[in-house]
Amino acid sequence: MDLSLYHLIREPKVKKDKNPLLLLLHGYGSNEEDLFSFAQHLPDEYFIVSARAPYNLPQYSGHAWYAITFDSDMNKFSDDKQAIESRDLIVRFIDEIIATYPIDADNVTLVGFSQGAILSYAVALTYPEKVSRVLALSGYLNMDIVGKSLHAEDVSKVRFFISHGTVDQVIPVEWARKAPEFLKNLSLDVEYHEYNAGHGVAPQNFYDMVNWLNK
């Protein structure tokens, strides 16, 4: 069966009847190869799937989950309609992966960077039954792409690892700090880290993230 999103796979080195899934969602202008470069350093028991976003950006030789446009004063706008469509596409893709590969539907972790992190929040808060954990790297929480029916009791089982660079020149760290605050107000399990880094995943950040996955 053809799945909705082009993707790369690393099968688990430790095979079980059903293995947990790590779904990697790249940032704006990037592609499925980007986060997949982490795969060899991630825990052996995971099925690792790295998805390519649906919109082609020829100027970056990459892809996007939704359009970002600038006005004449260089104010940045996200296409929230496209973002919501991509949110729902990711959920459909999760269902397809579970139907295609021997994956534990109750153990699905999203690892999103930048635009991928923004969508990981939206997927988890809109469809919490689909996701058990989220690693949101260098992103922020955009409530305009979260479904209106957010219920704290529904999302109570989802755990979050959030990280951001204090000198991030793409997404200000002030934006990132609002997410752990919001999620802790829902009494969710949140671990938040900041690093003296820009818009990327610093070595210490990667180390902390793998530690968290192994907990």
CATH number at residue 188: 3.40.50.1820
Q: What is the pLDDT of residue 115?
A: 96
Q: How many CB atoms lie within 10 A of CB 202?
A: 15
**Sign of CA pseudo-dihedral 131, 132, 137, 141:** positive
Residue 57 lies in a domain: yes
Q: Count up the domains in the chain and report the number.
A: 1
Q: Give the per-residue pLDDT at 187.
A: 92
* Residue at 2 is within a domain: no
Query: Which element (helix H / strand E) includes 29?
Result: none
Is residue 210 in a domain? yes
State residue 154's pLDDT score.
85
pLDDT at 8: 95
124 is a domain residue:
yes
> Is residue 65 in a domain?
yes
Q: Rounded to two decimals, what is the model's pTM?
A: 0.94
Residue at 127 is within a domain:
yes
Q: What is the pLDDT of residue 1?
A: 61
Residue 145 domain flag: yes
By residue range, what is the domain housing residue 147?
Answer: 7-214
73-98 residue pLDDT tens = 657 788 999 999 999 999 999 999 99
Task: Spell out the residues 6+ positions from residue 128 whose beta carbon is closer than 8 angstroms to its own.
Answer: 154, 155, 157, 158
- pLDDT recorded at residue 150: 77
Residue range 186-203: average pLDDT?
A: 95
1 in a structural domain: no
What residue has token string 């649906």? 54
The predicted pLDDT at position 117 comes to: 98
Which is higher by pLDDT, 213 or 149? Answer: 213
Q: What is the pLDDT of residue 148?
A: 86
Residue type for position 178: K
